[in-house]
Chain A
Amino acid sequence: MPPPPLTPAPLTPAPLNRRQVLVTVLAAAAVAAAGCRASEDASPRPAAGPTGSSVSPPPHPLLAVLHAEHRLLAGYDATARVHPELATRLAPLRADHVEHVAALQAARTDPAGAPAGATPAGTDPADGVAGGATPDGATPDGAAPGGATPAGATPSGAGPESGAAGSAPAAPPVPNSAAAALAALRAAERAAAAAGASAAETAPAEHAALLASISACEASHQVLLAVGAGRPAPG
């Protein structure tokens, strides 16, 4: 459980230095993450487990969000190609989406659920990833071995997931003016944030926090893309 962002001051002022407070905050994050894992153990699995019937399993709850991330990446790449002067500004936002893709793929292939969300590399590799026991959404695109999907090099137009749900995410045409191109990206981020928030509302507990964080990140992108476009960022 995360403590408050600031530690209440003790009645007798004790020398609590910065490092100690930061350690407290970081430890609390780990506890919160553990809480997510604990809660997932207690919650029923989503109704996606294969039961041996010939009925196709429903799509994995993360799949739509993953596709949206690939579409956004394609949009960022296309925009930076047409407007190289925007590339530096867009780079950190694009990098966030690369992280989203990696975390979503890790969450899809790890039956124990998503990692805390920040560092896919911190997950326990022995935790069923390679066990072939992927229970959910057994779509063939999930078989990319070892997370080999080149998330950082998604070509515009078709992500590696494109074969899965039929629709290849084609990057929409990039507007000729840089301002309009930024506005188009902003609209895409807004749509993705809204869809992600909806998904987070109904997702099983083990995915809800990850989806909520991704949606929140996209909302922050939307605001940053508006800076300098005549719209002040809200305080």
Chain B
Amino acid sequence: MTEPVQALQTALAAEHAVIWGYAVVGARLDPALRDQVRVADAAHRDRRDATAELVRRLGGDPVPTSPSYVLPFVVAEPRAALRLAVHLEEGAAAAWRYVVAATDERPLRRTAIAALTDAAIRAAHWRRLVTPDSPTVPFPGAQP
């Protein structure tokens, strides 16, 4: 079994990337939606800080953020920004789902399930604006 701290480092790296990505989303999105971006961004910052603290408590050295990241596609207009937001939350969900499976420790599982759930909710929220006919996925965090 993967060490929980390794899995948490993966989740922490994901949160770093998501926070970076939301800056791009916020810059390109319809201004009417920017408050929602701020809420999502703040939630991920809280999650990042809590995760770094958890890694430290488990004796690890929290992975740092990268100065920049490669976008999965060109994000030049609001609709692409929404798609990026979906992509970010799906990535966060995948990372936290991985943590769920990597630990038997109940408090850590609970944390990971909560983070996976939050990401799934936000992904659905953004997806509803991009593809209203299919706003959800049956297994958040598991790639299709």
Which residues of A does B touch, CB under 8 Å? 1-9, 16, 18, 21-22, 25-26, 28-30, 32-33, 35-36, 38-39, 42-43, 92-93, 95-97, 99-100, 103, 116-119, 193, 197, 200-202, 205, 208-210, 212-217, 219-221, 223-224, 227, 233-235
Asked whether, in the complex, the Cβ of A234 is within 8 Å of the Cβ of B94, the reply is: no
How far, in angstroms, from A133 to B130 measured CA to CA in the complex?
45
Q: Is B124 an interface residue (CB 8 A)?
A: yes
Among residues of B, the one whose C-beta sits closest to the C-beta of A39 is B1
- A26 to B143, Cβ gap below 8 A? yes
Residues A9 and B69 in contact, CB atoms below 8 Å apart = yes
In the complex, A32 Cα to B112 Cα: how many Å? 15
B119 proximity list for chain A (CB < 8 A): 216
Residues of B contacting A2 in the complex (Cβ-Cβ under 8 angstroms): 10, 14, 91, 94-95, 98
A42 to B104, CA, bound (A): 12
Cα distance A44–B88 in the bound complex, in angstroms:
35
Chain B residues lying within 8 Å of A202, measured Cβ to Cβ, are: 106
Candidate in A5, A42, A103 with the most chain B CB atoms within 10 angstroms? A5
B→A interface (CB under 8 Å): 1-2, 6-7, 10, 13-14, 16-18, 20-21, 35-40, 66-74, 87-88, 90-95, 97-98, 100-102, 104, 106, 109-110, 112-113, 116-117, 119-125, 128, 133-144
> Can you give 6 contacting A-B residue pairs, CB < 8 Å?
A2-B10, A4-B66, A33-B142, A92-B136, A216-B117, A234-B125
Interface centre among A36, A197, A233, A235 (most CB of B within 10 A): A235
A4-B137 in contact (CB<8A): no
User: Which of B6, B90, B135: most chain A CB closer than 10 A?
Assistant: B135
For A96, list chain B residues within 8 Å (CB): 136-138
- Decide: B72 and A18 in contact? CB cutoff 8 A: yes
The 8 Å CB contact of A36, one of B101, B125, B128, B144, is B101
Residues in B neighbouring A212, C-beta threshold 8 A: 97, 100, 109, 112-113, 116-117, 141
Taken together as a complex, chains A and B put the C-alpha atoms of A29 and B10 apart, in Å, by: 13
Q: Smallest CB-CB separation from A209: which chain B residue?
A: B101
A205 to B32, CA, bound (A): 42
State whether B141 touches A8 (Cβ < 8 A).
no
Distance of B78 from chain A, by nearest CB (Å): 16
Inter-subunit contact A6/B136 (CB<8 Å): no
Residues in A neighbouring B128, C-beta threshold 8 A:
224, 227, 233
B138-A1 in contact (CB<8A): no
Q: Which residues of B contact A43 (CB under 8 A)?
A: 1, 104
Q: Is A217 within 8 A of B136, CB to CB? A: yes
Contact B142 A118 (CB under 8 A): yes
Is the Cβ of B40 less than 8 Å from the Cβ of A235? yes
Supply 5 further A-B pairs (C-beta < 8 A) apart from A4-B13, A201-B106: A1-B10, A6-B71, A26-B143, A32-B94, A220-B140
Complex Cα spacing A217 to B10, Å: 22
Contact A118 B143 (CB under 8 A): yes
Residues of chain A contacted by B95 (CB below 8 angstroms)? 2, 4-5
Minimum C-beta distance from A95 to chain B (A)? 7
Assembly CA distance A233 to B94 (angstroms): 22
Report the separation of the CA atoms of residues A190 and B73 in the bound assembly, to the nearest whole angstrom: 35
Chain A nearest CB from B5 CB (Å) reads: 13
B142 and A213 contact, CB distance less than 8 A = yes
- Say yes or no: B142 contacts A200, CB within 8 Å: no
Neighbouring A residues of B38 by C-beta, 8 Å? 235
How many angstroms from the CA of A136 to the CA of B136 in the assembled complex? 31
